[in-house]
């Protein structure tokens, strides 16, 4: 009799916790919207660490020199039915510009500017979902449209390429409740390191 009196409240609390906790998790993250600013996308890193980056255009063959890279801003939306897994998409833009050196000539011939537009599908998984703290990983795959303008001082050539692209988010940390700040470490179109603001509702 005594055991029944002790066990009954415990079982009621345990059942209540099991029923309430999924609902609480679902309320934490159904719609997930973020804006982030990253540094060093994978193709920017590829250009930086190559000894020579060549460009073949209709006005000649050139090497890139004194290249300046923009940051990597992205706007992302994910939907999550159970708060742990999320699926959605992202769009972003970045650019680079610099000088062109004639291949074999060694003298500056002109300049260039390349603009990259990215659209990708993404998924994520939240390892830790605590009030005020979330830890997660994710991946994305999509397309990058590179639009380039190249000039040798006399003639100008414009080229557009559509290329596949990806991103692997090794680990992300989010601090905050409905609105929070986050940082991510990864490799791909969003950069090696990115920070941003996120809203979950």
Q: Where are the domains of the chain?
A: 30-200
Q: Which residue has the higher pLDDT, 147 or 24?
A: 147
Q: Give yes or no for residue 7 having a pLDDT over 70.
A: no
DSSP-assigned states of every residue in 144-184:
EEEEEEEE-SS-EEEEEEEEEEEEEEEEEEEEESSEEEEEE
Q: How far is it, in rounded angstroms, from Cα 150 to Cα 56?
A: 10
Q: What is d(CA 45, CA 15) in angstroms, rounded to the nearest whole number?
A: 52
pLDDT-based confidence at residue 152 (cuts at 50, 70, 90): confident
Residue 28's pLDDT is 67
**144 closest CA partner among 189, 84, 180:** 189
In this model, does residue 2 exceed pLDDT 90? no
Average pLDDT over residues 38-51: 82
More confidently predicted of 7 and 188:
188
pLDDT of residue 3 exceeding 80: no
Q: CATH fold of 30-200, please?
A: Porin (2.40.160)
Mean of the per-residue pLDDT values of the chain? 84
pLDDT for res 29? 84
Q: Looking at the predicted structure, is the pLDDT value of residue 14 above 60?
A: no
pLDDT for position 32: 95
Mean pLDDT score, 118-133: 95
| Structural Rg of the chain based on CA atoms | 24
What is the average pLDDT across 20-29?
47
């Amino acid at each position: 009799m005594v055991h029944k009196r002790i066990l009954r409240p415990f079982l009621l609390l345990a059942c209540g916790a099991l029923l309430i906790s999924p609902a609480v998790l679902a309320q934490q993250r159904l719609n997930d919207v973020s804006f982030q600013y990253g540094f060093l996308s994978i193709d920017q890193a590829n250009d930086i660490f190559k000894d020579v980056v060549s460009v073949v255009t209709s006005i000649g063959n050139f090497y890139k020199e004194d290249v300046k890279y923009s940051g990597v801003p992205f706007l992302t939306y994910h939907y999550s039915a159970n708060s742990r897994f999320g699926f959605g998409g992202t769009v972003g833009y970045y650019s680079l510009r610099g000088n062109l050196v004639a291949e074999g000539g060694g003298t500056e011939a002109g300049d260039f500017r390349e603009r990259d537009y990215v659209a990708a599908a993404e998924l994520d998984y939240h390892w830790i979902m605590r009030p005020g703290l979330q830890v997660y990983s994710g991946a994305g795959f999509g397309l990058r449209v590179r639009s380039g303008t190249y000039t040798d001082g006399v003639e100008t050539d414009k080229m557009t390429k559509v290329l596949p692209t990806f991103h692997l988010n090794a680990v992300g940390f989010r601090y905050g409740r409905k609105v929070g700040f986050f940082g991510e470490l990864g490799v791909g179109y969003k950069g090696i390191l990115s920070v941003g603001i996120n809203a979950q509702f």
